[in-house]
């Protein structure tokens, strides 16, 4: 009964209004920034991955840019990239992947804005470390503390859904299907490992993420390439299904349910958002702790995250599923569908999916635990309560591991939509501020100089938000 009401609410929240909000806001940011991301596409990758080992410093107050992006990317690469893509294709048809791509292309700028604003408005926590995120740029940049608290409130519940329930559920389901491990035992293991990493705060999380995220990303991409190459003759037909399905009323779910173009759009956008987190406002909380000399320099990592999670990893998952033909099998869903699709030609395929999902979901659970702490700290103003919230989060990790995937996803969809709205409103309000900061960065980009690593909202960026254009 409750699930039915949640599904109806999701159908409304993720209907045409949300499609308009996400795409139009992303397009607006693209136009206002004069397509900066696309004009500087090569430069962005040179300035991020190209300087990976040159800009790897950190301090007692910060983590390195790579640790920050590893934490954010580790949180981004989760169930959405394996389970979410599978669900989008199975319910929305192959065409849902096209809309995931479109969401990614448009939202690269959106996430760049989020990350940049988080760095520009960050402040020092009680222990001297940098903290930031949508709560702070909504309060300082959009000049609305009420809207900031609304975001933090809804974000906390979204974090419980996406970070705790969905990720732990995906891990336990994978361990059960592939290795036969009981759900409750998986829950105990998950809680124990999350506790070991998260108790040490952002410094330990960043250190952990920087070691595991590169490995798990390359492992999944490499394994996916092997699986897809084996079925190379089906690659072009798979792309044909994606483009044809995006603008047709093709049947999904093995013919038991019809999907319209709007259904493809709905599932493509919702799962695309979950897979890259653009517009959600979560990843900026990690990026705000980075040791960086300019907000835009860290913001470029945000654009890269979207590209890697949705364009690269999402596409590899989709091709593995579509080339196998298993997406129409009603007996398969979630991680099981992806695992069986990958093992369609090679038995080891399911282990690639299983191991990757466990790693993806675990790093997501760890990162989102930090996000929950940040939201609680902003809402209560108490560091002690924020630390206690970690254990509440871990409790939900256990519940998610023994719960049903369908409810977890439905809960997450609702929470996602409710936190997206205040975040997008704030981003639109701050657009001119972002453009001014972007122009400020161009002078550093063009002459190769560095800014100050100690710049904060109070000593540098406040005029950029208050200045009238």
Q: What is the pLDDT of residue 246?
A: 76
According to DSSP, residue 194 is labeled H
Q: What is the pLDDT of residue 254?
A: 42
According to DSSP, residue 255 is labeled G
Q: What is the pLDDT of residue 294?
A: 92
Q: What is the pLDDT of residue 378?
A: 93
CB 227 within 8 A of CB 320: yes
Structure token digits, residue 241: 């299904």
Q: What is the pLDDT of residue 55?
A: 56
Q: What is the pLDDT of residues 438-469, one digit of tens each?
A: 999 988 877 777 888 888 888 899 999 876 54
Q: What is the pLDDT of residue 255?
A: 40
Q: Which of 95, 166, 67, 89 is nearest to 368 (CA)?
A: 166
Q: What is the pLDDT of residue 408?
A: 63
User: Residue 35: which region, alpha, beta or left (left: phi > 0; alpha: psi -120 to 50)?
Assistant: left
Give the residue ranges of the chain where pLDDT is below 70. 1-3, 14-16, 50-62, 78-80, 249-263, 266-267, 270-274, 328-335, 404-409, 467-469
Phi and psi at 60, nearest 5°, equal -65, -25
| Burial of 261 (C-beta count, 10 Å sphere; 0-12/13-18/19+) | middle
Q: What is the pLDDT of residue 34?
A: 93
Q: What is the pLDDT of residue 60?
A: 58
Q: What is the pLDDT of residue 346?
A: 73
Structure token digits, residue 234: 């089906």
Q: Which of 223, 217, 233, 258 is nearest to 322 (CA)?
A: 233
Q: Identify the H or E element spanning 189.
A: helix 183-198
Structure token digits, residue 256: 């038991």
Q: Say how far apart CA 175 and CA 358 lie, in whole Å.
A: 8
Structure token digits, residue 205: 């999380």
CB 305 within 8 A of CB 279: no
HSE, side-chain direction, 13 A CA sphere, residue 321: 34
Taking CA atoms, 195 is separated from 126, 162, 202, 214, 362, in Å, by 22, 18, 13, 22, 11
Domain 7-51+65-445: state its class.
mainly alpha
Q: Say how far apart CA 293 and CA 17 lie, in whole Å.
A: 38
Q: What is the pLDDT of residue 432?
A: 94
Q: Say how far apart CA 201 and CA 130 lie, in whole Å.
A: 12
CB 176 within 8 A of CB 186: yes
Q: How far apart are the first and last CA of the chain?
A: 52
């Amino acid at each position: 009964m409750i699930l039915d009401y949640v599904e109806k609410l999701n159908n409304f929240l993720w209907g045409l209004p949300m499609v308009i909000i996400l795409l139009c806001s992303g397009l607006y940011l693209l136009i206002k920034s004069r397509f900066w991301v696309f004009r500087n596409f090569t430069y962005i990758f040179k300035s991020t991955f190209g300087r990976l080992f040159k800009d790897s410093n950190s301090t007692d107050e910060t983590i390195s840019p790579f640790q920050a992006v590893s934490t954010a990317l580790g949180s981004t690469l989760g169930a959405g990239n394996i389970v979410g893509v599978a669900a989008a294709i199975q319910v929305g048809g192959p065409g849902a992947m096209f809309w995931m791509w479109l969401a990614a292309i448009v939202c690269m700028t959106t996430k760049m804005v989020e990350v940049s604003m988080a760095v520009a408005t960050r402040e020092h926590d009680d222990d001297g470390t940098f903290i930031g995120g949508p709560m702070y740029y909504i309060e300082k940049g959009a000049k609305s503390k009420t809207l900031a608290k609304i975001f933090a409130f809804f974000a906390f519940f979204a974090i419980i859904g996406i970070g705790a329930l969905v990720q732990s559920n995906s891990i336990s389901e994978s361990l059960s299907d592939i290795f036969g491990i009981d759900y409750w035992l998986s829950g105990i293991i998950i809680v124990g490992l999350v506790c070991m990493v998260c108790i040490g705060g952002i410094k330990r999380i960043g250190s952990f993420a920087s070691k595991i995220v590169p490995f798990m990303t390359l492992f999944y991409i490499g394994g996916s390439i092997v699986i897809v190459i084996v079925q190379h003759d089906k690659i072009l037909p798979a792309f044909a299904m994606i483009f044809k399905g995006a603008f047709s009323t093709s049947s999904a779910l093995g013919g038991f349910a019809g999907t319209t173009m709007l259904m493809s759009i709905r599932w493509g956008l919702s799962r695309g958002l979950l897979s890259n987190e653009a517009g959600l406002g979560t990843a900026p909380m990690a990026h705000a702790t980075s040791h960086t000399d300019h907000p835009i320099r860290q913001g470029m990592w945000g654009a890269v995250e979207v590209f890697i999670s949705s364009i690269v990893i999402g596409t590899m998952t989709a091709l593995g599923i579509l080339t196998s033909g298993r997406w129409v099998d009603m007996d398969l869903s979630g991680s099981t569908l992806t695992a069986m699709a990958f093992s369609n030609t090679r038995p080891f395929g399911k282990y690639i999916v299983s191991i990757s999902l466990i790693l993806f979901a675990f790093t997501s659970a760890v990162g989102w635990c930090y996000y929950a702490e940040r939201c609680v700290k902003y809402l209560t103003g108490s560091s002690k309560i924020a630390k206690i919230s970690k254990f509440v989060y871990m409790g939900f990790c256990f519940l998610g591991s023994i719960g049903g995937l369908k409810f977890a996803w439905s809960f997450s969809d609702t929470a996602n939509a409710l936190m997206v709205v205040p975040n997008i409103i704030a981003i639109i309000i701050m657009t001119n501020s972002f453009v001014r900061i972007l122009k400020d960065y161009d002078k550093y980009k063009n002459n190769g100089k560095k800014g100050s690593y100690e710049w904060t909202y109070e000593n540098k960026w406040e005029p950029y938000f208050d200045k009238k254009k």
